[in-house]
């Protein structure tokens, strides 16, 4: 009898799942497992803990809620989810051996550390005469499936996108059927049966994230249905953080609670029907594939290298002054309201609007002169939808060191960005209520407001709201000098 173990990682759904599909197709008995990876989670338990000595991390809670949902769904079908808190290098071979499976099925992971982990697991399984079979699932096109006419890897997005669209066929978007036969999802043997590890037992505390970000495929589908009612206006509203203009699907997509094939299929269908909103959103999804491809072919990026090596010659600010400026940025106390409001949004919710990610990244690197790697690490720790490839790509884009990045001399003005994309200051005032009484004009740059207006608003700069930590015009001049080393080399 053919038996299979499906190892879930960042594909937390029971529909349209490549690994699950192939396991059900090729095996008579199938089990599913998820490992809360100690190699990933234990480094997260650092810094400030709550009163019970537990770590507050929304992502772990979100995953836990999604795993619980999958376990309940499997139990209704006569199976269950085998969940361990441990190192998968040890856990997967152990579970596979206990079950007596012929093969372990899982989906590709493209991060260098994950590839190394999978190679180790594969070697251990082979010693037990068990195969490790992996499948493409989290992207439409991977690694070197989209190449230039000279068979090299793309480094510019637009020609990559054009080739991507030209290559796309119906089969690339077809959903994988995942309908088990009666009894195919096997019950968990008693020796492996255990309750779902609690968040507390793993060192984390519940965060209540499900109150505003409902987890699992059910939560993802609800968000998708809401977005599809707005998608045709996406190109209009996506840059304005005060309105409901974006999809809010990134966290569900990050953990595979939604299928990328389903999202692209819907966006592509609507694009062909003439929807400009769907066309722009599809482009965003292709950017995601693009950054996955870049990381897969340039693994050195995961170790902090600039995509353009010349940019590693830049001398960033350092010492106590740099640390002080970085702290002000992290805490939303730079004196630039749009930047500060964006950082408060991130710190309070784990989410930041995409336009604002570009604004705060530009501000950190080109106004404060801080190494982009500091910001990349901060986002990695705080973003609910943190994805190594996209996070690295986004920060290198903003700092001009990445592939197809903005030119080094393009420096966002945080005031004009604020006036353009939050003209009435609604977003700013939501996260900086102390500025509530300022006029629509002054809320973008409070230090430019008159004494009478500040007094009427009950604001003393430096007490109720900080003065700017840098002057943007002066910072711009310093940045052009800082980047001149690249200009001379390039």
Just list the catalytic residues: 284, 287, 316, 354, 372, 395
- Calculate the CA 190 to chain-centre distance: 37
Task: Give CA–CA dist 471/468, Å, rounded.
Answer: 7
> Are 432 and 344 contacting, i.e. CB atoms less than 8 angstroms apart?
yes
Task: Compute how many other C-beta atoms are within 10 angstroms of the C-beta atom of residue 450.
Answer: 10
Tokens of 122: 């594969």
Dihedral sign for Cα atoms in the order 388, 212, 65, 85: positive
Residues 6 or more apart whose CB falls under 8 angstroms from that of 81 comprise 8, 32, 33, 34, 67, 70, 71, 74, 196
Q: How far is CA 461 from CA 414, 432, 436, 447, 466, in A?
A: 18, 14, 14, 7, 6
Task: Give CA–CA dist 266/13, Å, rounded.
Answer: 18
Phi-psi sector, 256: left (phi>0), alpha (psi -120 to 50), beta: left
Residues 6 or more apart whose CB falls under 8 angstroms from that of 346 comprise 352, 379, 382, 383
> Are 69 and 128 contacting, i.e. CB atoms less than 8 angstroms apart?
no
Q: Are strands 204-205 and 29-37 parallel, antiparallel or unpaired?
A: unpaired
Task: Give CA–CA dist 184/187, Å, rounded.
Answer: 9
Tokens of 246: 């974006």
Long-range CB contacts for residues 169-175, cutoff 8 Å, separation at least 24: 172/140, 172/141, 172/261, 173/140, 173/261, 173/264, 173/265, 173/268, 174/261, 175/15, 175/16, 175/259, 175/261, 175/262, 175/265
Query: Which of 57, 61, 64, 77 is closest to 14 using CA atoms?
Result: 77
> Are 398 and 414 contacting, i.e. CB atoms less than 8 angstroms apart?
no
Say which DSSP state 431 is in.
Answer: H
Instruction: Give the HSE-up count for residue 461: Cα atoms under 13 Å, Cβ half-sphere.
Output: 20
Query: Which of 36, 25, 94 is closest to 255 using CA atoms?
Result: 36
Instruction: Give the HSE-up count for residue 401: Cα atoms under 13 Å, Cβ half-sphere.
Output: 24
Q: How far is CA 339 from CA 30, 388, 445, in A?
A: 50, 23, 11
Supply φ then ψ for residue 76, to 5 degrees. Answer: -65, -20
């Amino acid at each position: 009898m053919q038996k299979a173990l499906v190892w879930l990682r960042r594909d937390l759904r029971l529909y349209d799942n490549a690994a699950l599909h192939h396991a059900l197709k090729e095996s008579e008995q199938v089990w599913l497992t998820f490992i809360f990876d100690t190699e990933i989670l234990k480094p997260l338990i650092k810094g400030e803990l709550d009163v019970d000595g537990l770590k507050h991390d929304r992502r772990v809670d979100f995953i836990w809620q999604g795993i619980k949902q999958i376990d309940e769904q499997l139990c209704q079908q006569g199976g269950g989810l085998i969940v361990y808190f441990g190192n998968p290098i040890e856990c997967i071979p152990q579970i596979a051996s206990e079950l007596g499976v012929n093969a372990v099925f899982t989906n590709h992971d493209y991060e260098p550390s994950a590839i190394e982990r999978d190679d180790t697991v594969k070697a251990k399984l082979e010693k037990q005469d068990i195969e490790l079979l992996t499948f493409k699932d989290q992207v439409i096109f991977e690694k070197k499936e989209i190449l230039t006419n000279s068979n090299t890897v793309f480094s510019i997005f637009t020609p990559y996108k054009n080739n991507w669209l030209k290559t796309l066929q119906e089969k690339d978007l077809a959903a994988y059927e995942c309908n088990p036969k009666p009894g195919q999802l096997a019950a968990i043997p008693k020796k492996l049966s255990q309750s779902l590890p609690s968040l507390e037992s793993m060192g984390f505390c519940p965060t209540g994230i499900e109150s505003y970000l409902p987890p699992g495929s059910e939560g993802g589908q609800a968000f998708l249905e809401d977005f599809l009612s707005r998608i045709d206006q996406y190109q209009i509203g996506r840059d304005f953080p005060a309105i409901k203009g974006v999809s809010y699907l990134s966290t569900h997509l990050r953990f595979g609670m939604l299928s990328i094939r389903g999202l692209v299929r819907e966006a592509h269908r609507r694009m062909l029907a003439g929807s400009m909103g769907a066309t722009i959103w599809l482009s965003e999804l292709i950017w995601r594939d693009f950054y996955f491809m870049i990381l897969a072919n340039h693994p050195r990026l995961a170790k902090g290298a600039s995509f353009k090596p010349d940019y590693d010659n830049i001398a960033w600010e350092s010492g106590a002054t740099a640390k002080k400026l970085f702290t002000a940025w992290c805490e939303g106390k730079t004196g630039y309201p749009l930047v500060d409001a964006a950082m408060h949004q991130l710190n309070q919710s784990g989410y930041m609007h995409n336009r604002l990610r570009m604004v705060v990244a530009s501000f950190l690197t080109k106004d404060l002169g801080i190494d982009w790697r500091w910001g990349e690490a901060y986002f990695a720790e705080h973003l609910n939808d943190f994805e190594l490839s996209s996070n690295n790509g986004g920060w290198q884009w903003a700092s001009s060191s990445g592939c197809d990045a903005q030119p080094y001399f393009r420096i966002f003005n945080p005031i004009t960005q604020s006036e353009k994309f939050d003209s009435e200051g609604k977003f700013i005032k939501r996260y900086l209520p102390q500025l509530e009484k300022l006029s629509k004009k002054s809320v973008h740059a409070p230090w430019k407001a008159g004494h009478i207006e500040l007094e009427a608003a009950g604001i003393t700069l430096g007490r109720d709201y900080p003065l700017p930590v840098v002057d943007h015009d002066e910072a711009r001049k310093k940045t052009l000098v800082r980047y001149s080393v690249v200009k001379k080399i390039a």
